[in-house]
Structure 1
Amino acid sequence: MAISLSKGQKVDLTKSNPGLTKVVVGLGWDTNKYDGGNDFDLDASVFCASAAGKVNSDKDFVFYNNPQNENGSVVHNGDNRTGDGDGDDEQVVVDLNSVPANVEKVAFCITIHDAAARGQNFGQVSNAFVRILNADSNAELIRYDLGEDFSVETAVVVGELYRHNGEWKFNAIGSGYKDGLSGLCRDYGLDIG
């Protein structure tokens, strides 16, 4: 049975699941009806960061146009442009044993593509979640439902896997950004010009 987390809660992942080496991180969402006339396109992205919370290079920013980090230990499974249907809308596979030693945090984010131009924000998104599955058994280990805490934000850091004393843990973050992907990139040390 999966552990259900609240915002700010941290939980051990590998210590309580001995032998766990590969996980699938599923991200999902629904959009509310609105009369803006534009479709929503939400995107999952991943920042592979140092202990200081900064990426070492552009290769450490994983998303649909850069589907894996440099050594292939973090792989984005592709862009879902509609979010229709149940279950995960986008997935990222993480090989925990292969994540480079200089990467201490693997942060999972959801952004709204072209949000400012389309007049969209996370106040119009519901049922957003992140869940972690054992890649071998497909068993759900951890789930964090974000709730309806957002209004003007156009990007959200939903959670992060992080190393602590040689083990992997998960932190349910749920932190919103009103300046979207550019704000995320700036905070993680990327210059997107």
Structure 2
Amino acid sequence: MAISLSKGQKVDLTKTNPGLSKVIVGVGWDTNKYDGGKDFDLDASVFCLNAAGKVGSDTDFIFYNNPKNANGSIEHTGDNTTGEGDGDDEQVKIDLSAVPAEVEKIAFCITIHDAETRSQNFGQVSNSFVRIVNEATNEEIIRFDLGEDFSIETGVVIGELYRNSGEWKFSAVGSGYKDGLGGLARDFGLQTS
């Protein structure tokens, strides 16, 4: 049975699930009905961070246009431009045993594509979640439902996998960004043009 987390909670992943190495991180969301006339396109992205909390290179930023990190241990499975339907809207597959040693933390984010142009924000998004699934058994291990406490934010760090004493843990973050992907990229040390 999945462990349901609240914002700020941390939980062991590999220590409580011996032998776990391949996981699927699924994210999902719905949009509230509104009459802005523009489609909503939310995007999941991943930042592989070193001990300083920064990306080592551009390949450490994984999203639909850069679907794998350098060694292929983290893979974004594709862009969902509508968020329609139940279940995961986007997924990231991770082989925890193959993640490069210099990666201390893997941050999972959701941003709204063209949010400023389309006048969209997370106040118009509901039922957002992140979940971790054992790829071998398809069993949901951890789930974090974000709740509705966002308004003007256009990007959210939903959760982080991080190393601790040789094991992987998960932290339910739920931290919003008013300046979306640009703000996330800046804070995580990604050079943007």
Q: Does the alignment reach a TM-score above 0.5?
A: yes
Which residue in the other structure is 2:180 paired with?
180
**Secondary structure in structure 1 of the residue aligned to 2:11:** strand
Distance (Å, rounded) in 2 between the aligned partners of 1:52 and 1:172: 20
Which residue in the other structure is 2:130 paired with?
130
Deviations 1:47-93 (A, max 9, x none): 00012110000000000000000000000000000000000000000
Matches within 5 A, 1:39-118: 39-118=39-118
TM-score w.r.t. structure 2 length?
1.00
User: Hey, which bits of structure 1, 4+ residues long, moved more than 6 A?
Assistant: none
Which residue in the other structure is 1:31 paired with?
31
Which residue in the other structure is 2:3 paired with?
3
Letter in structure 1 aligned against 2:51: A
TM-score w.r.t. structure 1 length?
1.00
**Secondary structure in structure 2 of the residue aligned to 1:56:** coil
Distance (Å, rounded) in 1 between the aligned partners of 2:159 and 2:180: 16
Distance (Å, rounded) in 2 between the aligned partners of 1:5 and 1:142: 7
**Secondary structure in structure 2 of the residue aligned to 1:4:** strand
Which residue in the other structure is 1:153 paired with?
153
Task: Among all aligned residue pairs of Structure 1 and Structure 2, give the percentage whose two residues are the same amino acid.
Answer: 76
How far has the Cα of 1:191 moved from its partner?
A: 1.3
Distance (Å, rounded) in 2 between the aligned partners of 1:53 and 1:37: 38
Distance (Å, rounded) in 2 between the aligned partners of 1:65 and 1:114: 16
**Secondary structure in structure 2 of the residue aligned to 1:85:** coil
Letter in structure 2 aligned against 1:156: V
Deviations 1:12-42 (A, max 9, x none): 0000000001100000000001111000000
Deviations 1:120-179 (A, max 9, x none): 000000000000000100000000000001000000000000000000000000000000
Deviations 1:80-119 (A, max 9, x none): 0000000000000010000000000000000000000000
Question: Where does the alignment leave 5 or more consecutive residues of structure 2 unmatched?
Answer: none
Between the two proteins, the alignment pairs up a number of residues equal to 193
How far has the Cα of 1:192 moved from its partner?
A: 1.0
